[in-house]
Amino acid sequence: MTKPDPVNLVITLIADAKRERLTQAFVDSMVPTLALQGIRVDKTDWLAEEIACDLFVSSADEHVVGAYVEDIMRDQPYDAVTQLLSHRRKKLLICDMDSTMITIECIDELADFVGKKAEVAAITERAMNGELNFEAALRERVILLKGLPEVVLQQCYDERVKMMPGAKQLVQTMRHHGAHAILVSGGFTFFTSRVAAELGFHEHYANTLIVRDGKLTGEVQEPILGKEAKLRTLNGSCKKLGISADEVLAVGDGANDLPMLLAAGFGVAYHAKPVVRAQAKARINHCDLSALLWAQEYRKEDIRHR
């Protein structure tokens, strides 16, 4: 008697139920669609009604299945994550801040206070697309902030910084279940310190704006925290925690996040720039950050909101 192939992969289908609910009919349709490519779904399991459902796949290649699932989902209003079952619950969460944990790019908003938002935002966009050297682009933007009163930093935070939907649930739920959470940003420590405290991160790392006589000098403290520093933070944290990179969830949206996303066992491009979506192992294009909890097999009753 031939033994059945072992289940080694899971495909998690995820919906933003406020916009488009995940239906049983769609989940059922995936089984014969995948079967046409020789991909056998062993069983399905709803994590949250109308929001998230797991499809367990027997003895298949992660990359082949992932590519096919992505092709199926291209025109669908849902997200899908394909991954190995091993180390599904991650022990380290490492996140970018701007346009990932918060809804804005802080440097663009600071520039608005000196009438230079359009100029700075154009540089930010190119840097996040990988078209410019990140460190040089940061210096170029910061110099445009020269003379900005330091008190405007708090005004910017109070008036413009909004947490990304699902951010608090992601950090608090993982933290409650024993994960370590790190915020690492090419932005500024003034903002990461406050965002980390509000969301519940254990640690935060970013760049420091230089202030003299109550005003920004237009300089940033060297060395600049860029993509390599983000990767070093991931690797150093793994060593300190005694875990492997397979046990890491990394989340970001820009080109300076790519090295850490590619190094993590679960590296997610979150509403990301095209260059990041093209290379990351997983993509969230429709849902909020709570999608990353369903992908780790958390259930509705597991989610923490504070």
Same domain? For 34 and 153 the reply is no
Of 98, 108, 253, 257, the active-site residue reads 98
Same domain? For 289 and 166 the reply is yes
Same domain? For 48 and 167 the reply is no
Question: Could you list the pLDDT tens digit for every one of the 306 residues in the chain?
Answer: 445 567 789 999 999 988 999 999 999 999 999 999 999 999 999 999 999 999 999 877 888 999 999 999 999 999 999 999 989 999 999 999 999 999 999 999 999 999 999 999 999 999 999 999 999 999 999 999 999 999 999 999 999 999 999 999 999 999 999 999 999 999 999 999 999 999 999 999 999 999 999 999 999 999 999 999 999 999 999 999 999 999 999 999 999 999 999 999 999 999 999 999 999 999 999 999 999 999 999 999 999 987
Residues with Cβ within 8 Å of residue 130, at least 6 apart in sequence: 255, 258, 273, 275
| 98: annotated active-site residue | yes
Q: Strands, E, within 65-141: which ranges?
A: 79-84, 92-95
**Global confidence as pTM:** 0.95
DSSP label at residue 202: S
The verdict on residue 1 lying in a domain is no
Structural domain count, the chain: 2
- Supply φ then ψ for residue 286, to 5 degrees: -115, -40
Domain of 75 in residue numbering reads as 7-84
Same domain? For 104 and 52 the reply is no
Among 61, 84, 107, identify where a domain stops: 84
Same domain? For 58 and 155 the reply is no
CATH for 72: 3.30.70.260
The verdict on residue 204 lying in a domain is yes
Q: Give the separation between CA 34 and CA 12, rounded to whole angstroms.
A: 14
The verdict on residue 2 lying in a domain is no
Same domain? For 21 and 98 the reply is no
Same domain? For 57 and 188 the reply is no
Same domain? For 173 and 284 the reply is yes
Among 63, 84, 105, identify where a domain stops: 84
Same domain? For 26 and 145 the reply is no
Of 79, 96, 253, 288, the active-site residue reads 96
Same domain? For 137 and 277 the reply is yes
| 253: annotated active-site residue | no
Same domain? For 185 and 57 the reply is no
Same domain? For 98 and 198 the reply is yes
